[in-house]
């Protein structure tokens, strides 16, 4: 039996034991305090909190961006039958008044319908690409532009667009609708910042304003301009290739800078008009076939070709673009330039003080009465373009010749593209 007091030896042991206890406690306590302060290091805690907050912010930011702001443009093509309008030949060319009026009405009707629908915020615009005949009926091929966020499902958007189109008045069912890549000619994508400055000392062209402009380079140096008329063909001047007819030595570059172009494509074939006459400059036209298809972008795109019978009115505005010199015998420039000129009738251009009869029917004059605004050396082969009332750009001239540059009564002379429209079709099928 052990009494509470115990023996003296027991007491001694107890005394030793109790005497040791404070020491044991002293051993343990500092160790505990040390491990607690390591796990709660304020710097580590701060770092962890900041990292978690930053990761959460990035995740929330990405979610908001993808759900709300990551918009993309989509183009849809459809065909609608216009009820109550019979097809006639006057609808066959976009240049006719009837075509323009009806297209404008159809576009307004589509715009009104979508602006009153639940896609009013997504609808951007519509455009009639073609009016055509189906039996006695008139069919309008249309393209519509929408912006959707990426989370919008393509198939469901298509269904919503289709159902809205079906509600349109005076139209019959559409004939299937497909998302498309924009392939229209003569449409500009950049901001339109035209000015009337000359090429000689003139204004810099903005990216996307003249997306059909091509630089034709021989041994990697700019020689002539050209205009993209399809993803394989460039329209240019015959005189550019007179002494330089080997296609493999040529390349075509796209974009406004010749030193850092957006695309470079090799040349496969050069077709010079058989009746090109260097003395009279007659038939100064050539076609350049690329060795691969150029990729259309908002900065690289084809220009429209005019109809053979399309009227080019004297006095109307046109633009000429190129990397040519800014004074006669000057050097070419590396950034594309633009100049606004006016069409001059062949009669006026052939006056004795002018070219005195040297301007032939397959040619076209453009300039300004007082001179100073003109194409010049290095602009040759490049396009002279005009805009129609529906903001489509047509190539009406090819820079060909002139007496020096920018002199009064000596405007630029261009190959008249309408006169060669059928030749172009025969050579290219376009």
Element (H, E) at 155: helix 154-166
Sketch the per residue contact string, 322 through 361, with ligand 4AZ: x for CB under 6 A, - otherwise.
----------------------------------------
d(CA 273, CA 285): 6
Q: CB count, 10 Å around CB of 38?
A: 9
Nearer to ligand 4AZ, 263 or 342 (CB): 342
Nearest distance in Å: CB 422, ligand 4AZ: 26
267 near ligand 4AZ, rule: CB under 6 A: no
**DSSP per-residue letters across 17-84:** HHHHHHHHHHHHHHHHHHHHHHHT-HHHHHHHHHHHHHHHHHHHHHHHIIIII-EEEEEEEEEEEEEE
| Residues 376-395 contacting ligand 4AZ, CB under 6 A | 376-377, 379-380
Q: Which residue has the tokens 């990551």?
A: 70
Q: Please report how close the Cβ of residue 341 comes to ligand 4AZ at its closest, in angstroms.
A: 10
| Least distance CB 238 / ligand 4AZ (angstroms) | 12
Region binding ligand 4AZ by CB under 6 A among candidate stretches 100-108, 313-321, 346-354, 374-382: 374-382
CA distances from 278 to 223, 272, 274, 377 (A): 17, 12, 12, 16
Measured in degrees and rounded to the nearest 5, phi and psi for residue 413 equal -110, 135
* List of E strands, 368-424: 383-387, 393-401, 412-416
Q: Is 199 in the site for ligand 4AZ (CB under 6 A)?
A: no
Nearer to ligand 4AZ, 174 or 374 (CB): 374
Rounded to a whole number of angstroms, the CA Rg of the chain reads 37
Catalytic residue among 239, 273, 281, 301: 239
Residue 284, classed as helix, strand or coil, is: coil
| Catalytic residue of the set 284, 301, 325, 374 | 284
Q: Pick from 247, 271, 259, 262: which is nearest to 222 by CA?
A: 259
Stretch that binds ligand 4AZ, among 52-60, 134-142, 228-236, 368-376 (CB under 6 A): 368-376
Shortest Cβ distance from residue 325 to ligand 4AZ (Å)?
9
Q: Judged by CB under 6 A, does residue 209 bind ligand 4AZ? A: no
For position 306 contacting ligand 4AZ by CB under 6 A, the verdict is no
Cα separation, 387 vs 334, whole angstroms:
26
CA distance 67 to 344: 55
**Could you tell me how many residues of this chain bind ligand 4AZ (CB under 6 A)?**
11
Min dist. Cβ of residue 165 to ligand 4AZ (A)? 49
What's the closest the beta carbon of residue 413 comes to ligand 4AZ, in angstroms? 7
Under rule CB under 6 A, residue 202 binds ligand 4AZ: no
Query: By C-beta, is 229 or 237 nearer to ligand 4AZ?
Result: 237
Taking the least distance from each CB to ligand 4AZ, the nearer of 186 and 378 is 378
48: which residues sit within 8 A by CB, 6+ positions away?
none
**Residues contacting 18, CB < 8 A, separation 6+:** none
Active site residue 239: yes
- Chain position whose Cβ is nearest to ligand 4AZ: 402
Query: Could you tell me if 382 and 227 are in contact, meaning their C-beta atoms sit under 8 angstroms apart?
Result: yes
Under the rule (CB under 6 A), what is the footprint of ligand 4AZ? 374-377, 379-380, 399, 401-402, 405, 412
Q: Would you name the residues annotated as active-site residues? A: 239, 284, 380
């Amino acid at each position: 039996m052990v009494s509470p007091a115990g023996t003296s030896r027991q007491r001694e042991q107890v005394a030793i034991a109790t005497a040791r206890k404070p020491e044991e406690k002293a051993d343990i306590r500092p160790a505990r305090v040390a491990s607690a302060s390591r796990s709660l290091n304020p710097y580590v805690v701060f770092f962890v909190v900041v990292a978690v907050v930053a990761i959460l912010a990035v995740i929330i930011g990405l979610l908001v961006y993808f759900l709300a702001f990551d918009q993309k443009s989509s183009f849809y093509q459809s065909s609608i039958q216009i009820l109550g309008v019979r097809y006639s030949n006057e609808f066959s060319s976009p240049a006719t008044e009837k075509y323009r009026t009806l297209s404008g009405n159809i576009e307004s009707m589509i715009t009104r319908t979508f602006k009153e629908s639940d896609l009013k915020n997504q609808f951007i615009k519509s455009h009639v690409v073609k009016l055509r005949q189906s039996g006695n009926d008139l069919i309008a091929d249309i393209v519509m532009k929408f912006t959707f966020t990426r989370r919008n499902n393509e198939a469901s958007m298509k269904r919503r667009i289709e159902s809205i189109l079906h509600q349109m008045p005076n139209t019959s069912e559409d004939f299937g609708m497909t998302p498309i890549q924009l392939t229209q000619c003569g449409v500009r994508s950049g901001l339109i910042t035209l000015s009337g400055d000359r090429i000689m000392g003139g204004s810099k062209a903005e990216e996307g304003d003249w997306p059909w402009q091509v630089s034709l380079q021989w041994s990697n140096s700019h020689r002539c301009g050209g205009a993209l008329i399809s993803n394989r063909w460039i329209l240019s001047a015959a005189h550019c290739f007179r002494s330089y007819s080997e296609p493999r030595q040529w390349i075509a570059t796209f974009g406004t800078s010749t030193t850092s172009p957006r695309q470079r494509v090799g040349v496969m074939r050069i077709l010079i008009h058989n009746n090109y006459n260097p003395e009279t400059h007659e038939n100064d036209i050539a076609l350049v076939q690329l060795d691969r298809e150029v990729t259309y972008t908002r900065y690289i795109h084809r220009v429209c070709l005019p109809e053979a019978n399309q009227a080019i009115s004297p006095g109307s505005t046109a633009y000429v673009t190129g990397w040519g010199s800014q004074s006669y015998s000057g050097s070419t420039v590396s950034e594309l330039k633009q100049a606004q000129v006016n069409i001059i009738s062949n009669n006026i251009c052939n006056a004795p003080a002018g070219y005195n009869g040297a301007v032939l029917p397959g040619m076209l004059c453009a300039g300004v009465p007082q001179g100073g605004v003109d194409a010049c050396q290095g602009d040759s082969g490049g396009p002279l373009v005009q805009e129609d009332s529906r903001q489509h750009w047509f190539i009406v001239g090819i820079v060909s010749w002139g007496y020096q540059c920018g002199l009064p009564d000596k405007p630029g002379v261009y190959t008249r593209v309408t006169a060669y429209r059928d030749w172009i079709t025969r050579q290219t099928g376009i």
